[in-house]
Amino acid sequence: MRYGFPVRFVVCLCLLGFLGSGCFYREPVRHLSSDICLITPNLTQKEVLATLGAPDYKQKGEQGEVWVYREVKQSLLRKTPYIGAKLGSENYDVVTITFAGDTVSTCLYRAYNEEELKESGIDVSGPRAE
């Protein structure tokens, strides 16, 4: 009967270790729908980088340089391993920031569903710009 205490103690310690290990994992999270409110005309590129981080891709437009930020939001069913691609849905947040010189001239936010994104021609699977 003296062996019961150490076994329970070890099991409790393992459970606490598993629960506690999740508290220290910090993956950077971007919330475009709320962060976009911080972007105003006349902000510099440096200030935009400090607020939103590096854009997903950059391109040269007629009015100046364009930075595009995108975020994929998957439903709980879509996150299911192996069968998730056939279940649930994905929604996409896309922010397009146009610079005139070094300052923001326009900032547009748009939420897409899967069908709208395909029609728009925006690629959300490509690599990020660095």
CA neighbours within 13 Å on the CB side: how many for 11? 6
Q: Is 73 within 8 Å of 32 (Cβ atoms)?
A: no
User: Cα(30)–Cα(10) distance, rounded to whole angstroms?
Assistant: 38
Looking at residue 1, its amino acid is M
pLDDT of residue 46: 95
**CATH topology for 29-120?**
Beta-lactamase Inhibitory Protein; Chain:B, domain 1 (3.30.1450)
User: Cα(63)–Cα(65) distance, rounded to whole angstroms?
Assistant: 7
pLDDT of residue 103: 94
pLDDT of residue 43: 93
pLDDT tens per residue across span 30-50: 678 788 888 999 899 999 999
pLDDT of residue 20: 60
pLDDT of residue 65: 93
The series of mean pLDDT values per 10 residues for the chain, 130 residues long, is 65 70 59 84 93 90 87 78 76 90 92 82 61
